[in-house]
Structure 1
Amino acid sequence: MGEEQNLAAKIIVSVLLGGFLVFGLHLYDSLILKPKRLRSKLQKQGIRGPSPSFLLGNIPDMKKIHLKVQAAAETNISKHHMKNVDHISHAWPSTIFPYLEQWRHEYGPVFMFSIGSIQILWAGDIEMVKDIGLCTSLNLGKPSYITKERGALVGQGIASSSGTLWAHQRKIIAPEFYMDKVKGMLSLMVDCTTSMLRAWEIRIENEGGIADIKIDKDLRTLSGDLISKACFGSNYLEGEEIFLKFRTLQKIMSKTTLGIPKFRFFRSKIDRQICKLEKEINSMIVRVVKQRTETTHEKDLLQMILEGAKNTGDLSDLSPDKFIVDNCKTIYIGGYGTVAITASWSLMLLAAYPEWQARARAEVLEMCKGGLPDANAIRNMKTLAMVIQETLRLYPPVPAVTRAAVQDIKFKDILIPEGIDIWIPVAMLQQHPDLWGPDAHEFNPERFSHGISGACKIPQAFIPFGFGARVCVGQHLAMTELKVMLCLILSKFCFSLSPTYRHSPVDRLFIEPEHGVRLHMRRV
């Protein structure tokens, strides 16, 4: 009996040791050997980049360069005794991402670097960008780290999935955002915006004709209300808790570092917070969806997503509930976050450049003739469109478009091996003097007076909504929302920057004003 127990114990120990060995070999391959192989394949084609450190890749270099630039900026402010910078600089990419700017100068427009175990090809060459934009192959997808490390925020919805699952989701969702559908949402946009502006009017009246208003929260509420009613038939109050938890989750996740191996049994406090918020958001979305389906079967976007969830077949292992939740997340984030941020930046710029505010207002008053905007007026507001395009050029919500080589794929004579992630620098391309001229860092909506092709030497350098086959499906809705919001605000208010405004763009997964936007507002 004792010998049998000893033998069983030895077998268990052997199995455990074998398991640990296999696990250790897997980690060694995925964290050390595989990244080395991928970098070697690019190096043999002449692609260079900074040398990565063990496990962390180039994260230590990134932090070191960033701290150096930050210290220099603080010294400069202290030296000149400035609390508020009078001149607003729009050349923020070099201060938020100074390491990328430094490596671009050292290694050229195409280089490689590592964030932990994630191997990235920086594609800053415009000819390569054009090639990538023309690619329709499903071998070009989205990086796996988005679903693995940002999954709590976006899941495996249309913005983060790849291959046939992405194609299936796009087929369902894209038609719901075609221009004819967006036009049908116009009166809803006007009603929601008018409701918000009444609250501003009351506040201005109560404060003696001029009020100092921090606009960001109100614009987020408005964006949330619009996306909820337009796509899900609900209102902001029903989804308010979801939106607030999304906002909290976004802030927490913006502080986490990509590419660092995480194990379920070594969860940090932040990891536990993220997991808790994800569960709460998921359960709330399921509850909202259930309530909606019990009260109506109207053919809106939510109904299309519900039908799409039944037809995933063998496309993925997503359950119907997760399919619904993940796509609702994508639409909530896109409609709630990016539109509100762009509206904030647009109003900040119109406040900082009163001559453009006056031009845009004159156009609005002429087109609307004292009434509310209709589809025809919105379509013909050229000056307002130019202002929005210039805002998106200088402050794109997402600083880089990401792609991943799902299989080996070739662009501009470079064979990109499977497993390499590609980053296209939206923000840097949109402020590159060689493409936009010597005033590339200045606010000049006039450059768009003859359209995008007239604004830039190569139109593919303007990609605030992404590009190619995976261009943002909601871009028409976003542009129309922005036009309606700005049109109504301009028709009712004059505004200037509050003396307390501090210009400090920050990367919180989206490029947003760190301290918000404060405006002095009065009735027209």
Structure 2
Amino acid sequence: MESMSEFVSSNWLCVSLSVAAALFFHTVVKLLVLLWWRPKRIEQDFANQSIKGPPYRFFHGNVKEMVGMMIKASSKPMSSPTSLFSHDILPRVLSFYPPWKKIYGSTFLMWFGPTARIVIEESDLIREIFFSNSVAYDKYESHPLVRQLEGDGLLGLSGEKWAHHRKVVSKVFNSENLKMLVPNIAKSVLEMLERWPTKSSDEVEIDVSEWFQSVTEDAITRAAFGISYVDGKTVFQLQAKQMKFVTEAFQNVFIPGHRFLPTRKNLESWKVDREIKRSLFRMIESRKKTMLNDPSGRSQTDLLGHLIATSLKKSTPAETPVLSVSDIVDECKTFFFAGKHTTSNLLIWATVLLAMHPDWQHKARQEVFQVFGRNNQNSHGRADVVPTRDHVTKLKTLKMIVNETLRLYPPVIAVIRRAKSDVELSGRYKIPKGTELMIPIMALHHDSDLWGNDVHEFNPARFEETGGVSYRRDIRFIPFGLGARTCVGKNLALLESMLTLAIILQRFSFRLSPAYVHAPTVLLLLHPQFGAPVIFTPLD
């Protein structure tokens, strides 16, 4: 019996070892297919279509090369305070693009790990991706840490749910609502200016890269939460704290799976995320009660009120489901993340550019005086007008300045789409499922073939022929994206930026501090690497 037992045990051991070996072999083969054979086959297929690029490297693709280029490019500033500033920032910000375009052409292949990414600059291909065949492509999925910040709102949604949310959220940014937001934005800016340590004739140095973050946070809180402003401020302060955790994580060496480990930073980040959700849930329930007892509808004019009003509507089984409380929480997070950082970055670079170019600063100020009057009284001797959206639309020069700022220093330097299935692009290229298509916004905005020989110069007059209005379907100028997924809050961002700049121009002249170092860099969005200290002088 013992020998029989030993025989059975021996057989089971052999079977177990065989199964383990088979599983190991299967796993190794799958990894080799994923990390080597499939990428090399795709690389050859694209080469046969005359799309080439730097060779695929096992596991990391071209990431190591790109990181090396980025580190080298950001190691030195573009210029010193005493020299002329250059706006040719593409080699510093998108450092891999100029050398690889020169070698492989304007349409080339690169690799993010084992994922193929085609870089596309040709206008006909871009139009097909965003317009004529946009249904064939999905939005690129954000990094998990970014998704934690922005929530599962419009930025991360796709398909029918995205279409429904887009329809609901876009109503918040209609003309009537924007008109009502102007006094709140002006109030935020004026209150922040009053905190500056200035006397009537004193200069003050302000790092606008930090100050504009606070201004836009306050203004967006008023726009998002309105009568729940105090509670909303607390929520957004928590999200700003979470943003710091994410920024620090991006600056550290990437370790796969590190975000799941219970480190001190991760535990703090998770705690903040829970606090944000709890606070928003409480605020939503409180506002619901207010709205049910508010026949005037005054509590529905901000983002939160509008989303809750939509969620309270009854829907039939045949209709699209209404928004859930979780949906509202995610849209509030998205609104804060996208709205705050896009607008603040635009304001930072516009101020820096106006400080660099006093001639345009003077032109913009004279226009502001004509529309708003001076700080104490307008040209007719009356007190300053209360700003309205109609006043802002009269600021044609300032609109050209804002557009030129967005051209030279777009907050988002590239957009990415992913092929949902095998697709043919423009009848020329066969794109396999899962391939990413990258449209380099920064490169388009700095292309001399599209903008002329003065492409790297700050020249707002180039927008004069369109009255300061951006081109709707022109791929030359796409700071807010293109097609159906164009930024839904674009008009609010432009309105807030122009109103803020107008209020500052009305009260101060400004120049760059000697401490300013021109070094644009990218960490989530385009920002000044060493801050943006600006010296402000009150006007007489």
- What residue in structure 1 maps to residue 124 of structure 2? 127
- What residue in structure 2 maps to residue 213 of structure 1? 206
Amino acid at match of 1:209: D
- What residue in structure 2 maps to residue 241 of structure 1? 237
- What residue in structure 2 maps to residue 194 of structure 1? 190
- 2:73–2:91 Cα contact (<8 Å) kept: no
**Structure 1 residues 284 and 69: CA distance shift in structure 2, 3 A:** closer
Return the alpha-carbon distance in structure 2 between the equivalents of residues 420 and 271 of structure 1: 34
Counterpart secondary structure, 1:460? coil
- What residue in structure 2 maps to residue 511 of structure 1? 526
> Which shows bigger deviation, 232-241 or 122-131?
232-241
**Structure 1 residues 485 and 39: CA distance shift in structure 2, 3 A:** same
Return the alpha-carbon distance in structure 2 between the equivalents of residues 305 and 102 of structure 1: 47
How far 1:285 moved relative to its partner? Answer: 3.3
- 1:188–1:230 Cα contact (<8 Å) kept: yes
| Count of aligned residue pairs for this structure pair | 507
1:334-370 deviation digits (Å, cap 9, x = unpaired) = 1111101110111111111111111111111101133
1:216-261 deviation digits (Å, cap 9, x = unpaired) = 2221111111212212234364234324224313423543689x8x
Counterpart secondary structure, 2:117? strand
Q: CA RMSD in A?
A: 3.5
Return the alpha-carbon distance in structure 2 between the equivalents of residues 156 and 226 of structure 1: 23
Counterpart secondary structure, 1:161? coil
1:387-414 deviation digits (Å, cap 9, x = unpaired) = 1000000000010011111123333332
Structure 1: 5+ residue stretches without partners: none
- What residue in structure 1 maps to residue 494 of structure 2? 479
Return the alpha-carbon distance in structure 2 between the equivalents of residues 514 and 209 of structure 1: 28
1:1-40 deviation digits (Å, cap 9, x = unpaired) = 9778888877777766666555544444433344334434
Equivalent residues in 2 for 1:291-302, closer than 5 Å? 291-295=283-287, 296-297=290-291, 298-299=299-300, 300-302=302-304
Structure 2: 5+ residue stretches without partners: 292-298, 374-383
Amino acid at match of 1:488: I
**Structure 1 residues 278 and 127: CA distance shift in structure 2, 3 A:** farther
- What residue in structure 2 maps to residue 372 of structure 1? 386
Counterpart secondary structure, 1:238? helix
Counterpart secondary structure, 1:169? helix
Q: Percent identity at matched positions?
A: 29
How far 1:133 moved relative to its partner? Answer: 2.8
- 1:493–1:521 Cα contact (<8 Å) kept: yes
1:287 to 259, 279, 285: 279
**Structure 1 residues 66 and 477: CA distance shift in structure 2, 3 A:** closer
- What residue in structure 1 maps to residue 458 of structure 2? 443
Equivalent residues in 2 for 1:390-429, closer than 5 Å? 390-413=404-427, 414-429=429-444
- 2:470–2:477 Cα contact (<8 Å) kept: no
- 1:452–1:462 Cα contact (<8 Å) kept: no
Return the alpha-carbon distance in structure 1 between the equivalents of residues 284 and 266 of structure 2: 27
Larger Rg: 2
> Which shows bigger deviation, 166-175 or 150-159?
150-159
**Structure 1 residues 11 and 466: CA distance shift in structure 2, 3 A:** same
Return the alpha-carbon distance in structure 2 between the equivalents of residues 494 and 453 of structure 1: 23
Counterpart secondary structure, 1:434? helix
How far 1:187 moved relative to its partner? Answer: 1.3
Amino acid at match of 1:411: L
Compute the TM-score of the two structures, normalised by the length of structure 2: 0.84
- What residue in structure 2 maps to residue 343 of structure 1? 347
Counterpart secondary structure, 2:195? helix
1:229 to 207, 210, 222: 222
1:247-282 deviation digits (Å, cap 9, x = unpaired) = 313423543689x8x3x4x66879984575255225
Return the alpha-carbon distance in structure 1 between the equivalents of residues 480 and 404 of structure 2: 13
1:173-232 deviation digits (Å, cap 9, x = unpaired) = 1222223321221111111111112112xx1118x6111111222211111112122122
How far 1:503 moved relative to its partner? Answer: 0.9
